[in-house]
Amino acid sequence: MNNSFLDLIKERRSIRSYRPEQIADDELRAVLEAGTYAPTGHGRQDPWIVAVQNPAMRERLSRMNASFMNPAPDGDPYYGAPTIVLVFCSQPEQCPTGFADGSLVLGTMMLAAQAAGLGSCWINREREMFATPEGRKIMAELGLPEGLMGVGALALGYAAAPPKPNKPRKDNYYRVIK
């Protein structure tokens, strides 16, 4: 296996502090395109990816996400990242692998962000956010079809500080049975 790919995986960290400047369009396109090449069940390509850079929409999403945290934070659950990348999928009745597929899209985009020199952090609570009437309204504003559900999001931007070193891997993390 290519050692640079393993290094990329090992060096990727969740970034929780971002510089305020917006990422370059070509960097964003590279991350989004990588997400479209994530494996999906039966090749359905069920997930939907939406990058939000509009400050008003970004703030709206931040407030909504924070409302599902207990206790609600004083700060931004997207850590000040200038771009939020949302991932949606069909309901399980329409696509049983949709949520797993969307998760693979998010993971693939995190690796692409690392390769592009960007920081990223997986953000939860999109499933709850977009199950609400306000969430469904936002989905319509984003031009998404009805019947989707939120999978997760990425905070995406330039890291404000170097990431912390990785934690040692736990003992017995994997096993090989022959």
Asked whether residue 146 is domain-assigned, the answer is: yes
The structure tokens listed for 159 are 């890291």
Q: How far apart (Å, rounded) are the C-alpha atoms in residues 11 and 5?
A: 10
Instruction: Report whether pLDDT(1) > 80.
Output: no
Quick one: which H or E segment has residue 61? Answer: helix 55-66
Burial class (CB in 10 A: 0-12, 13-18, 19+), 37: exposed
Of all residues in the chain, the percent with pLDDT exceeding 70 is 98
pLDDT at 74: 76
CA pseudo-torsion sign 158, 160, 164, 169: negative
The CATH number that applies at residue 85 is 3.40.109.10
Amino acid code (one letter) for 177: I
> For 49-90, how does the pLDDT look when each residue is reduced to its tens digit (9 = 90+)?
999 999 999 999 999 999 998 777 778 999 999 999 999 999
- For residue 48, what are the domain limits? 22-157
Residue pair 113/14 in contact (Cβ under 8 Å)? The answer is no
Asked whether residue 8 is domain-assigned, the answer is: no
Of 19-23, 91-95, 107-111, 164-168, the poorest mean pLDDT is in 164-168
DSSP string, 3-48: HHHHHHHHH--B---B-SSPPPHHHHHHHHHHHHTS--GGG----E
Alpha carbon separation from 45 to 37, 42, 101 (Å, rounded) = 9, 8, 8
Asked whether residue 96 is domain-assigned, the answer is: yes
Average pLDDT along the chain: 95
DSSP 162: P
Residue pair 105/35 in contact (Cβ under 8 Å)? The answer is yes
Asked whether residue 26 is domain-assigned, the answer is: yes
Q: Domain total for the chain?
A: 1
Asked whether residue 5 is domain-assigned, the answer is: no
pLDDT at 122: 98
pLDDT at 3: 83
> For 91-132, how does the pLDDT look when each residue is reduced to its tens digit (9 = 90+)?
999 999 999 999 999 999 999 999 999 999 999 999 999 999
Of 24-28, 38-42, 71-75, 154-158, the poorest mean pLDDT is in 71-75
Instruction: Report whether pLDDT(46) > 80.
Output: yes
Span 139-154, average pLDDT? 97
